[in-house]
Structure 1
Amino acid sequence: MFNIRNALRRATAQADSVVFCRKGREYSRASISTGPQQQHETFYEFRTYYIKPHLNAAFHKLTNEKIHLRTALSELVGYWSVEYGGLNQVFHIWKYESYAQRAAVRAALAQDPNWMEQYISKAMPMLSSQDNEVTYLVPWSKIQKPPKEGGVYELVSFQMKPGGPAVWGQSFQGAVCTHAAPGYAYPVGVFHSEFGLLNRLHVLWWYENADQRAAVRHKAHSDARVVSAVRQSVAYLESQKNKLLFPCSYSPLK
């Protein structure tokens, strides 16, 4: 196992100069392994809250009023309500430079009377459950802001077969790159799980609206290049799911 990890890290070092493939650059030599990101320590925490249906509006109002208490301590990438793919849910992404930073932030929040009294004590009874996952950006991706505000986002999650990036990394990257070509979807970021379900990948897309997303999907189904790339990737796929997300007013990504 140690030798395998070292081999993957050496391989991914070659991908440091490879940028996100939306601009149509070569991707055949890039790896999806998260080695470089782990060495740089920066990671992204995905958090999903399940809200009690009758308290959905109250939760959003409270969060809108008090989120500044939380963002004062660490960077919020985006905060969305789930429109399709899961009712009464919110999904948010937080950026940390290290696990030590996250631990320090959590400790500071626990000692902050304003946060605990004004938000946590009121918000927690509104939730039925919570979930979180630690992810890294894949080496060939970076967080990209959409070209304009006011659109919708789609989070597509892929559960890949065991074996890791050495097995399915290149095929998956090829499939993502074809969907990120001009005239298709706008990729915000591609993430690889570290804590949570392993061999899991997430692609966050942006569209001008839900109808544009439907049109893009229809177009992709008749594009031979896209179909070919997807067929290669799906051989390593166990399952997938998606959610259509609407950015909240206090979300940095809108």
Structure 2
Amino acid sequence: MIHEWRTYEAMPGKVAALSTHLEVAAGLFTKHGLGVVGFWTEDVGTGGQITYMWTYASFEERQKKLAAFASDDAWKKQVAEETAKEGVIVARIHNTMLQSTPYSPEPRLKGRVQEWRIYDAVPGKLPDLHNRFANHTLKLFEKHGMENIGYWTEVFGTSNRLVYMLGYPSLGDREKSWASFMKDPDWLQARAESEKNGTLVAKVTNRMLRPTSYSPKG
């Protein structure tokens, strides 16, 4: 399964217009069979962005469905009316093509807060990192109340990168879950055994996200 992670940066003062734009788009995505995992704003950090994730079976399917969406008269009318009223609302669009790992669940959103985490592996260590997640980490996340939403590698770009998303009922629950996870003897043992020949992760980055009102649920 292919997933596409798309982040829209709004022009100054245009976040509300961008949100309206994407809420209308969400209905048309459904009409044209473009599966959407979710729409998010950042809970901590940049306030001028909205991110969403598409899902499809292949790149051929993506091209076909996007072409149908772009030629939809309702969408053309929406864009024309928005442009006349608001002017340019999008400053930049960033997208990343992702491939689900063999151990990834089918992405579904349940919690009120999600976390997007990127692990850049030490060169040559990505297979070991995958093994640790598949055999230990996912089960331990679940044990400590974290929701495993999805795990991916990049189709194009950084070849030693693991990307994943976790869910929580709240930011407070996130703090409690991570604190208990980091002290878990099973985690400490799994990490020690997996790193006998060196550290696996060179860099970790994350974004805290909150679903929009029009984001799919469950």
Q: CA deviation at 1:159?
A: 1.4
Task: Give the corresponding residue for 1:18.
Answer: none
Cα deviation code 1:140-181 (max 9, x no counterpart): 1222535xx552111111112333744542134346325423
The DSSP-based 3-state class of the residue aligned with 1:142 is: coil
Q: CA deviation at 1:109?
A: 2.7
Instruction: Give the number of aligned pairs.
Output: 211
The DSSP-based 3-state class of the residue aligned with 2:94 is: strand
CA contact under 8 A between 2:125 and 2:200: conserved in structure 1?
no
Q: Which runs of 5+ in 1 are unaligned?
A: 1-41
CA contact under 8 A between 2:113 and 2:167: conserved in structure 1?
yes
CA contact under 8 A between 2:141 and 2:181: conserved in structure 1?
no
Q: Which runs of 5+ in 2 are unaligned?
A: none
> Kindly, what percent of the aligned residue pairs are identical?
24
CA contact under 8 A between 1:79 and 1:253: conserved in structure 2?
no
State the alpha-carbon separation in 2 of the partners of residues 248 and 217 from structure 1: 24
Q: CA RMSD in A?
A: 2.6
1:135 aligned residue (73, 94, 98): 98
Task: Give the corresponding residue for 1:247.
Answer: 211
CA contact under 8 A between 2:115 and 2:166: conserved in structure 1?
yes
Task: Give the corresponding residue for 1:153.
Answer: 114
The DSSP-based 3-state class of the residue aligned with 2:175 is: helix
Matched, 1:186 2:147: yes
Matched, 1:51 2:10: yes
* TM-score, normalised relative to structure 1: 0.73
Q: CA deviation at 1:253?
A: 3.3
Q: CA deviation at 1:184?
A: 2.8
Q: CA deviation at 1:238?
A: 2.1
Matched, 1:98 2:58: yes
State the alpha-carbon separation in 1 of the partners of residues 102 and 111 from structure 2: 28
State the alpha-carbon separation in 1 of the partners of residues 157 and 77 from structure 2: 30
The DSSP-based 3-state class of the residue aligned with 2:151 is: strand
